[in-house]
């Protein structure tokens, strides 16, 4: 599974003799005509918004960027690791509890907006899948 890094949302031509940067929604390379491996996108993009010291607002920014990247790149969906929210107490106003809560609110709204499905990952309280 490919994982999303903020600031690295770019695509390179898969032709190793070319390797130029491509637009996120490119279907083929404008320089060498190499078709982009859209078939590979039968996969989920993974993003972790909870384990790099993010604040909850940073977590939402990452989610927003990852959703648009995953859609532009025609991934099947997004695997969002938002953490279990249980470091101190579940109802903490800030911290992991809030990242989890705000992320889920954001994902529920995004699912409605882009007509995607949001489902909890099996046996994992710390992640949800957003399927396009
Ligand atoms: Zn190329």
Taking the centre of ligand 1 as the mean of its atom positions, its distance from the CA of residue 12, in whole angstroms, is 8
21 occurs within a structural domain: no
> Taking the complete model, does pTM exceed 0.75, yes or no?
no
Taking the centre of ligand 1 as the mean of its atom positions, its distance from the CA of residue 21, in whole angstroms, is 8
In the chain, the number of structural domains is: 1
100 occurs within a structural domain: yes
Q: State which residues form the domain around 72.
A: 40-131
Ligand 1 ion: residues within 5 Å (CB): 13, 15, 18, 29, 31-32, 34
106 occurs within a structural domain: yes
Taking the centre of ligand 1 as the mean of its atom positions, its distance from the CA of residue 36, in whole angstroms, is 9
**Each residue of 14-63: pLDDT tens digit?**
788 998 887 766 778 899 988 776 545 678 899 999 998 889 999 999 99
Report the candidate in 14, 114, 22, 117 with the shortest Cα–Cα distance to residue 64. Answer: 114
Please count the helices (runs of H) and the strands (runs of E) in the chain. Answer: 2, 7
Q: Is the pLDDT of residue 90 over 90?
A: no
75 occurs within a structural domain: yes
Distance in angstroms (rounded) separating the CA atoms of residues 73 and 57:
24
Taking the centre of ligand 1 as the mean of its atom positions, its distance from the CA of residue 106, in whole angstroms, is 36
CATH code, 110: 3.30.1370.110
77 occurs within a structural domain: yes
106 confidence band (pLDDT: 50, 70, 90): very high
Q: In what order do the strands lie in the sheet with 77-81?
A: 2-3, 44-48, 77-81, 127-131, 117-120
pLDDT at 39: 47
């Amino acid at each position: 599974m490919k994982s999303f890094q903020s600031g690295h949302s770019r695509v390179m031509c898969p032709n190793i003799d070319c390797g130029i940067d491509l637009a996120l929604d490119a279907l083929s390379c404008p320089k060498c005509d190499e078709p982009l491996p859209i078939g590979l996108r039968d996969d989920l993009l993974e993003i972790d918004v909870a384990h790099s010291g993010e604040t909850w607002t940073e977590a939402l920014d990452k989610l927003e960027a990852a959703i648009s990247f995953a859609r532009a790149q025609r991934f099947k969906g997004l695997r969002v690791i938002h953490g279990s929210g249980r470091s101190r107490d579940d109802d903490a106003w800030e911290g992991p509890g809030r990242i989890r809560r705000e992320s889920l609110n954001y994902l529920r709204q995004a699912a409605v907006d882009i007509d995607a499905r949001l489902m909890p990952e099996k046996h994992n309280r710390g992640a949800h899948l957003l399927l396009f």
